[in-house]
Amino acid sequence: MRKLIFIILFFWLHLFTNAAPIGLGDKAPDFTLKDQNGNPFRLKEYIGKKVLVIYFYPKDDTPGCTKQACYFRDQYEAFTEAGAIVVGISSQDVQSHKAFAQKYNLPFTLLADEDGKVRKLYGAGDGLIPGRVTYVVDREGKVVYIFNSQSDVKRHVEEALQKVRELNR
C-alpha cells in the first residue's frame, strides 16, 4: 500500500511540474519581466555583457526565501567583483518585491513572474510549492550550472559563486 501511495504521489507531482526543464549547455530562454521598481528587465540585454545568476524562489518574506535572499545580499559584492549579475524571480507582484528588497536591503534585482510563465519556461518547479532553483548563465547565454533544492538555501549561493569565479579564471 505504501509503495502504491508513493507511486501515485510521484506521478501526481510529475503532472504538476514542468516535464522538460532546461539543462546544462542549453541556451537560457529569453524573457522580459518587471523588476521591483516596475522597470522592464530583458535577459537578452545582459547576454554578452555579464554572467547571470538567476534564482527562482517560492515567495517573498518567508523564512527560507528570506534566508536565501540575505545570503545573496551578503555575497553580493563577491558576485559583482566576479562579473555577475544576481536576479531573483518569484510570482509575487512588483510591490511585494519592492517591500521585500527594502525590508532586507537587497541590492540585486527581483523580478515579478506573476503568471509563472518564466518559471515554466525554465522548468523551475511550478507544482504545489514553487521550486527553488538557481541557474548560472555564461556570457554567451548558455546555462552552465543548475542547483535545485528547497531546503539547502545557503548552498545555492555558495555553489553559484564558485561557478561564477570558475568562469572568470
Looking at the DSSP assignment, which residues form a beta bridge with residue 42? 32
- State mean pLDDT over 140-168: 91
pLDDT in tens, 90-99: 999 999 999 9
* Total of domains in the chain: 1
CATH number at residue 58: 3.40.30.10
**Of 65, 82, 84, 146, which is the active-site residue?**
65
Domain that holds residue 58: 2-167
Report the distance separating Cα 47 and Cα 63, nearest Å: 32
Count each helix (H run) and each strand (E run) in the chain, helices first: 6, 7
- The DSSP element (H or E) to which 35 belongs, if any, is strand 32-35
Question: pLDDT tens across 51-63, in order?
Answer: 999 999 999 999 9
- The closest alpha carbon to 168, from 88, 79, 77, 47, belongs to 79
Establish whether 65 is a catalytic residue. Answer: yes
pLDDT of residue 153: 83
